[in-house]
Amino acid sequence: MNAATVETSGSPIDEQAMERATVALSLTINGRLHDVRTASSATLLDLIRDQLGLTGTKKGCDMGACGACTVLVQGRRIKSCLALAASYDGEAITTIEGIGTLEALHPLQAAFIRHDALQCGYCTPGQILSGIALLSEKPQSLEAIREGMSGNLCRCGAHPNIVAAIAEVAGL
Amino acid sequence: MSSDSALRYEAALKVTGGAVFEAEVPVAGLLHAALVEAPLSCGEVLSVDATQASTMPGFAAAVSHAEAEALQPSPATALIRERVIHFAGQPVALVTASTWLEAKAAARAVRIVTEGRPAVTALAQARDKSFAPAMVGRFPAESRRGDAAKALADADLVIRHRYETAVNNHHPMEPHAVVCWWEGDKAVVHTSTQAIFGTRTIIAHAFKIPAADIRVVARFLGGGFGCKGQLWWPWMLWAMLAAKKTGRPVRLELTRAQLFTLVGRRQETMQDIGLGFSADGCLAGIEHHVIAQTSTHADYSDSTAVYTRFLYACPNVTTTHRLVRTNEPQPVPMRAPGTAPGMFALESAFDEAAERLSIDPIELRVRNFADHDQEAGRPWSSNGLLECYRVGAERFGWSNRPERGSAVDGHWRIGWGMASTLYPAIRQACKVRLQLAADASLRVQCGTQDMGSGTYTALGQMAAAALGVSISQVTVELGDTWLPEGPFSGGSQVTASLMPAVEMASAKLRARLSQMAVADERSPLSGQRVEDLDFQDGAIRSRAGNAGELLSDILARGATDGIEAEGESAATQHPSLAATSMGYGAVFVELGVDPELGEIRMRRVCAAFAAGRILNPLLARSQYVGGLIGGIGMALHEMTVTDRASGRIVGDSFADYLIPVHADMPDFDIAMVDEEDAHLPGGVKGIGMLGTAGIQAAIANAVYHAIGRRVRSLPIRIEDIIG
Amino acid sequence: MSGSLFQYSRAADINAAVTQGSRAGAVFLAGGTDMLQLWKAGTIAPEAVVDISRLPLDDVAYADGKLSLGAMARLSDVAAHLEVTRSHPLIADAILASASGQIRNMATVGGNLLQRTRCPYFRSDGLACNKRIAGSGCGALSGENRQAALFGASPSCVATHASDLAVVLAALDAEVEVFGAAGPRRFPLSDLYRLPGVTPERETNMVSGELITVIHVEGASRFAARATYLKVRDRASFEFAVVSVAAALRVENGVIVEARLAAGGVAPLPWRLTGSEAALVGRAPDAQAISAAGNLAVADARPLAHNAFKIDLLRNAVIRALQTIGYQP
């Protein structure tokens, strides 16, 4: 590679365009209605985490791979980092904060604790929400649970205990 | 203190989303930061111009080399003070704005002028310029015992092969983050670091301020595996400079793509190994030569061939480590540093020898068992490797191993393989504080970290057991430099480091409480001998006569404000060690290979580990299994690829960098071999990295067993099986 | 660099969608699972995003042997639809082998077919890629090309198409219905995608503002009994195909009367293996016929430095798929 001078620059965006680049949304999150204004380009994940301060939902890759950002929309699991917030106007969303509390754990949360289905805890909310959605699909075997949970990555290696916790709640 | 499968201390917080990771610390007026990356892999930054960026909506401030020049020079500040570009993606500035999206937009508008230089973007490109580092960690880079060259020349059987391991990245699920602000000249830094006190020291030196004026907090870490350490510091310091410049709190979160370049990697290795055996399978000589990649701004060598010096008995061993500088990111330790790549080579070569000698692979290892550390010339403090082979083989059913290539399951050819694993057991200096309140609730404090390894639980259990209270009565505080200085989280050292410090502090409390009881005529234990007293169930009980009294009653009488004590322990004193301490394991795998489609699928893993006293089998099993899964990833999937033309990473995402998913999981059978070790406080060794070495060779050995093809590079993938 | 800001609008109806989508700098948003990744990586920099996800185009219907999949139908709904699982299991199998549960709940049929290549040179914002920046070169050609195409590539571009569903639909002779400023039009799926040639940035024959409305699959239930989608991956799940094969046969009296074969992961578009298909018709589904079909499938393969293994892999995958459906009673 020869020595060369390289310039890089981006293109500025005018202020009026930036002001236009927001949307007003109504979202029901964990049963509570939120009227918010956010950037047109904001993901549901950033809205939940940064704007609404619900930090239980995690940002692991922001590219739809790790699943740490999993939330439920009308009970269906999605990856909120690939969800444009504006596109979810009017939807009902459940995050980990809406699943259970320290005083009243969801059965899957309790099973996670019993089976030590976590280590660092960063993938855990996503695994639990994904697991809850999977349970509603009535998986019939451990293999089906493993396949069904494969959209949730874990780097600490809690996989076998996670599957055991889900299997216990599934009655397998 | 018996072992106890207490549930993970902080599990309830983590499953409810209530564990606040440091990026999530709520703070008013937060600015968001984005890094500006250089587009070339080698050269110099001539100018950084944020004029255009500064006109963008939400823009607050930019910092670059100019601001960093105010910091003291050091390895931690080199990359932000010096305008030299060492690798593609190296940040050259940090921009802050009101939102993350605005920060990214502003970062795009920063104008960088650079001058490129010829880059070295692959190890092979500069192999002839390799050099030997002086040290490999705490070991010399080269070793020579006897005359390995002659031994190999004279040996009945010589196995000589090259083994290669690819670049891996740590990829903890939580990307690195810092939320930092200044209160006058004092800094508050919430950051995902495996070393809060090391971080504090770095900040103190960089900013020339007293350590006491800096608070570093890392209460929960979403994994680390070795990358939440020194290479994170430069970017963290830039965020702190931005916080200083703006007078506002600043948050920097790395993107997943940046975790491929900015915070370290497991270096690729090229290992030439020669094993010389006598016909009866005894090792006559070993040569193990390693070449690995390092960056152009720092040297790092994994201890890849170090363990070859003493794992097996051999009178003639030569090992060398050499490095090649490339314009690629800097390597650092990654889970099972040294052992992971080194055991792949050694344990694969051993298997190849076993085949040639017609000796069972386990038997060959048993024949070469080292009954003491031949390299350091001292005994093992304990070595359970033989028991690991025995227990693992029995549970796995090794005696039923089918003939090579004979076991079939539909399209799958079944293979069985095994390997040894080991990891050093060492300790760091550590301080803890115990505070017993009047109601006998116990608070334990230590400025160490928990990255999922179970430190909260270990500390809580130790303290609870030491004072005979229930763990439900214990509050554990970690991760804050306002607490007594604890060890960094690495090297599988934390639990062992905590043990003597907790024991010292609790001994002081026990002594004080005992005295408060026996010396007080109002106590049922009045007049008892301290030596006869036991602490259990929240009370002190005398073995002589069964008298007893609740701790809370003792405290209510004599210390209504509670009592506290501190304890400390020393780091392993390597030069004066009387014995070498290692944890050991034997790993057995069964897998299936589809020879036509090239797919490899794990079926079952059985591992027996002898790693001292296990405090909590539930959490220990999680650590062992987690380590094994990391090893499976290294063996079958993980590979970070550099585009030679540009020096950039190709496929810097989880879509391309594959780690094992749920569907990949085999059954795991873990055996924890009982082991006592009088040399080690509490008999505790580290366990977190034992699973991540050995299994790679076990897998390669199993692939050979399945289809008769020997793969000597990692990861083993479809193209290694087909064609 | 990534993450340029854009404006958002939701199309009230299909005509509005076409109007808004025709503007320069506009892109459609359906499920968003690909679009958002591309935007975040800096691969695309839309100025306006037109949300078409709520257009009433999500119907799945089956009547008189004609299956229609609304372009806005979510993948998970399609895979679970009774008419799909019962009479077109190949479609369900391909979908269930795709991505992850969460993505399948978000992604749409149309979006899946129009997803951009996974080639890492395309998906970065700094590596040489003619598809992303015309004239910047093809970094994969002389660089890392394990994923690259065996067929249909050009010196300008060696990228592959990543959709599983597209491979199956190609095998079943699906047709695509689109709607644009010129109204609706319908054409075979095989006319949807373009080979890269010297214009790799032009991936489809759709014009600006057009959107897919319906996918038609007709007469395909006759293959339901003997069809399989074989997806070869490095790991057991949640990965794009290294190579995949959709195979379907009709066998009467021990003789193959019809054969459908399409391959994924080997070309810029789903690759119909017409040579192999023709060679199978009239033969018994035995080892020789199957082996011949496998060899024909790779006859024109052109490997690069790192993807030659895909030749044997494709051959073996074709054979394996045909064995699976050919040997069954």
Which of A71, A98, A125 is the last residue in one of the domains? A98
Do A42 and A114 lie in a common domain?
A: no
- In this predicted structure, the answer to whether residue C313 has a pLDDT above a threshold of 90 is yes
In a domain, residue A125? The reply is yes
In a domain, residue C252? The reply is yes
Residues of B in contact with A39 (CB under 8 A): 99, 101
Q: What's the domain count of chain C? A: 1
Q: What is the pLDDT of residue B104?
A: 94
**ipTM of the complex as predicted:** 0.97
Residue C253 backbone zone (phi > 0: left; psi -120 to 50: alpha; other: beta) = left
In a domain, residue A47? The reply is yes
- Kindly determine whether residue C101 and residue A151, on different chains, have CB atoms separated by under 8 Å: yes
Do A90 and A130 lie in a common domain?
A: no
Which of A79, A98, A117 is the last residue in one of the domains? A98
Do A129 and A91 lie in a common domain?
A: no
Do A87 and A129 lie in a common domain?
A: no
In a domain, residue C259? The reply is yes
State the Cα–Cα distance between residues B280 and B278, nearest whole angstrom.
Answer: 5
State the Cα–Cα distance between residues B419 and B402, nearest whole angstrom.
Answer: 17
Is there a contact between A71 and A56 (Cβ–Cβ < 8 Å)? no
> If pLDDT is split at 50, 70 and 90, which confidence band does A19 have?
low
Of A164, A101, A77, A153, nearest to B223 (Cα)? A153
Q: What's A163's domain CATH number?
A: 1.10.150.120
- Kindly determine whether residue A150 and residue C1, on different chains, have CB atoms separated by under 8 Å: no
The answer, for C146 touching chain B at a CB cutoff of 8 Å, is yes
| Residue C102: Cβ-neighbour burial (10 angstroms; 0-12, 13-18, 19+) | buried
Q: What's C229's domain CATH number?
A: 3.30.390.50
| B8, B109, B628 member nearest A10 (Cβ) | B109
Q: What is the pLDDT of residues C74-133, one digit of tens each?
A: 999 999 999 999 999 999 999 999 999 999 999 999 999 999 999 999 999 889 999 999
State the Cα–Cα distance between residues C130 and C111, nearest whole angstrom.
Answer: 22
Q: What's A51's domain CATH number?
A: 3.10.20.30
- Which has the minimum average pLDDT: A14-28, A68-82, A115-129, C44-58? A14-28
> If pLDDT is split at 50, 70 and 90, which confidence band does C328 have?
confident
Q: What is the pLDDT of residues C165-180, one digit of tens each?
A: 999 999 999 999 999 9
Q: Which structural domain range is residue A162 located in?
A: 107-170
Q: What's the domain count of chain A? A: 2
| B105, B651, B718 member nearest C242 (Cβ) | B718
| B12, B115, B665 member nearest A160 (Cβ) | B665
Nearest chain B residue to C307 by CA distance is: B719
> If pLDDT is split at 50, 70 and 90, which confidence band does A41 have?
very high
**Which two tokens mark C33?**
């699972």
Is there a contact between B291 and B323 (Cβ–Cβ < 8 Å)? yes
The mean per-residue pLDDT over the stretch C34-43 comes to 96
| A1, A49, A153 member nearest B659 (Cβ) | A153
Of C265, C269, C256, nearest to C322 (Cα)? C256
Do A10 and A94 lie in a common domain?
A: yes
Beta bridge mates, B592: B414, B601
Beta bridge mates, B63: B94
The answer, for A13 touching chain C at a CB cutoff of 8 Å, is yes
In a domain, residue A119? The reply is yes
Do A82 and A14 lie in a common domain?
A: yes
> If pLDDT is split at 50, 70 and 90, which confidence band does A4 have?
very low
Chain B from 544 to 603: CB within 8 A of any A CB: none
Q: Which helix (H) or strand (E) holds C60?
A: strand C60-63
- Kindly determine whether residue C237 and residue B636, on different chains, have CB atoms separated by under 8 Å: no
- Kindly determine whether residue A7 and residue B43, on different chains, have CB atoms separated by under 8 Å: no
In a domain, residue C236? The reply is yes
Over chain B (723 residues), the average pLDDT of each successive run of 10 is 82 98 96 95 97 95 98 97 98 96 94 97 94 94 98 98 98 98 98 98 98 98 97 98 98 98 98 97 98 97 98 98 98 98 98 98 98 98 98 98 97 98 96 97 97 96 96 97 96 92 97 96 94 95 92 94 97 92 98 98 98 96 98 98 96 98 98 95 92 98 98 98 89
- In this predicted structure, the answer to whether residue A15 has a pLDDT above a threshold of 90 is no
Do A22 and A92 lie in a common domain?
A: yes
In a domain, residue C281? The reply is yes
Buried-exposed string B92-105: b where 16+ CB fall within 10 A, e elsewhere: bbbbbbbbbbbbbb
Question: Quick count: other Cβ atoms within 10 Å of Cβ B40?
Answer: 27
State the Cα–Cα distance between residues B445 and B381, nearest whole angstrom.
Answer: 30
Do A35 and A88 lie in a common domain?
A: yes
Nearest chain B Cα distance for residue A57, angstroms: 7
Do A45 and A82 lie in a common domain?
A: yes
Do A164 and A119 lie in a common domain?
A: yes
Mutant choice from A45, A77, A138 vs C, greatest count of C C-beta within 10 A: A77
> If pLDDT is split at 50, 70 and 90, which confidence band does C3 have?
low
| C32, C39, C238 member nearest A151 (Cβ) | C238
Residues of B in contact with C238 (CB under 8 A): 661, 663
Instruction: Name the pairing type of β-strands B177-183 and B408-409.
Output: unpaired
Question: Quick count: other Cβ atoms within 10 Å of Cβ C175?
Answer: 19
In a domain, residue C82? The reply is no
**Which two tokens mark B454?**
């179970």
In a domain, residue A1? The reply is no
Q: Which structural domain range is residue C232 located in?
A: 225-326
Do A10 and A62 lie in a common domain?
A: yes
> If pLDDT is split at 50, 70 and 90, which confidence band does A10 have?
very low
Counted residue by residue, chain A has a size of 172
Q: What is the pLDDT of residue A152?
A: 98
Range list of H helices, chain A:
15-20, 44-46, 107-114, 124-136, 142-148, 159-170
Mutant choice from C234, C239, C242, C323 vs B, greatest count of B C-beta within 10 A: C234
Q: What is the pLDDT of residues A83-139, one digit of tens each?
A: 999 999 999 999 999 999 999 999 999 999 999 999 999 999 999 999 999 999 999
In a domain, residue A111? The reply is yes
> If pLDDT is split at 50, 70 and 90, which confidence band does A47 have?
very high
Q: What is the pLDDT of residues C199-211, one digit of tens each?
A: 999 999 999 999 9
Do A90 and A25 lie in a common domain?
A: yes
State the Cα–Cα distance between residues B598 and B584, nearest whole angstrom.
Answer: 32
